[in-house]
Chain A
Amino acid sequence: MPMNLEIITAERSVYSGEVDMVIAPGLDGQLGILPKHAPLMTVLKPGELTVKKSGEEDMYVAVSGGFMEVIGNRVSVLADACERSDEIDEARAEQAMQRAQERLAQRGSDMELERAMSSLQRAQIRVNLVRRRRPRTGGQPPIGS
């Protein structure tokens, strides 16, 4: 029996549909959600969210933190920001990673350091995701890049 998944951010709805399993980056570790899960409300940390659906390839979504609510066969992910792997532009993600690394190397104030760390983390997640996807799609550049 499939369950309903909805991924929304403050700006738009990223995904909505029936899925078989969701693996989310919980604050204390990965969480796998299957249909008929007990009501759950959790904080997500920046990471990858995997969506499994029988008969289809897994979908990967990069989330930069947020919340997940599971209630009565319905999973809602409230992400701070997120991108589906097919939306990520690899070149841009890599650039962002480089920029973050440079900023980190400059060693500004504590706050700047913290910000650079978290943007590096986010960029890394995106780059990893895209790299993982590449062998399957044959390394074609994303449309519109």
Chain B
Amino acid sequence: MPSVRDIRRRIRSVDNTAKVTNAMSLVAASKMRRAQNAVLEGRPYSVKIQSLIANLAAQPMDDEAGAQPLLAVRTVQNATVLMISPDRGLCGGLNANLYRAVGNFILVRDVPVQAVTVGRKGRDFMARTNQDLKATFTDLGETPLLVDTHAISHMIIDSYCEGQTDEVYLAFTKYVSTMAQEPVIEKLLPIEPAKLTSAESVGYIYEPGNLAVLQSLLPRYIEMQVYHAIIESIASEQSARMVAMRAATENATELSGDLTLVMNKLRQESITNELLDLIGGAMALEG
């Protein structure tokens, strides 16, 4: 039987936990708003660049077009997965879901899969499961700029162009809503223009030429995809953390209430017992 003092101590510790989780959820909420904004602000650019590539790919090209390294489809002997993950935990099931998706993905591939990770959690996962970890990037911060992600996308582009890998997949947590985030794995390279949706098909004048435009457009597209995956993953992380921490705060408050109830009952009981003892003693004296 715990004493009143033990319970009081426990209540204090639960209350402190509630304070911490509450603060974390508030911080995550404000970071989430910023991250959501970044996702929304970047959307027009990404939509535009996709429709431009789709449009361009539909144009008649010279023979050299087939030689575009980023469009080249090769027999797959080696695949790479670029995993975008948070640097930190305490965000509900987000990390575990991403691990499961990536793990399954690697298992079903019948070719060796190399891993490149962004974020500490992804790196730890790859190291723990003994994957072929080629490179890892951490500490991008909460509001990375496009230039901050160039090192990542260029490494991917280079290794694809040099033939070190024949396929690249992008794994990250897609931001659906504040309540829902889902891990997705998308093909990044080779680019498949046929799958991109084009809003309009127009006969543009290409300056300085179709090929030159395509050549500079394709790397931009990859940079954009990587950047977008990263900011989307940040928005997911923050909203998952906000929800998880809010739930934790609620649980802690509830637990604290229950404990207070138990403590009051115990205290009352001990007072009653003491009174009974006193009365008993007094009666014995009078007796």
Task: Determine the distance from Cα of A6 to Cα of B83 in the docked complex, in whole angstroms.
Answer: 33
Q: Assess the B217–A67 pair: CB atoms within 8 A.
A: yes
Cβ of B200 under 8 Å from chain A: yes
Q: Assess the B207–A76 pair: CB atoms within 8 A.
A: no
* Binary contact track A1-35/B, C-beta < 8 Å → 1, others 0: 00000101111110000000000001110010000
Q: Assess the A11–B212 pair: CB atoms within 8 A.
A: no
Q: Assess the A42–B213 pair: CB atoms within 8 A.
A: yes
Tally B residues with Cβ within 8 Å of A: 31
Cβ of B216 under 8 Å from chain A: yes
Judged by DSSP, the binding face of B is helix
Q: Assess the B207–A27 pair: CB atoms within 8 A.
A: yes
Assuming the contacts A39-B205, A41-B205, A67-B52, asked whether A9 and B146 have C-beta atoms less than 8 A apart, the reply is yes
Residues of B within 8 Å of A71, CB to CB, are 200, 202, 204
Q: Assess the B202–A76 pair: CB atoms within 8 A.
A: no
Cβ contact of B48, chosen from A12, A31, A78, cutoff 8 A: A78
Tally A residues with Cβ within 8 Å of B: 24
Of residues 54 through 69 on chain A, the ones whose CB sits less than 8 Å from some CB of chain B are 67, 69
Q: Assess the B45–A27 pair: CB atoms within 8 A.
A: no
Give the interface centre of A28, A31, A71, A78 by most chain B CB atoms within 10 Å: A78
Residue numbers of B with Cβ under 8 A of A are 38, 41-42, 44-46, 48-49, 52, 55-56, 145-147, 200, 202-208, 212-213, 216-217, 220, 223-224, 227-228
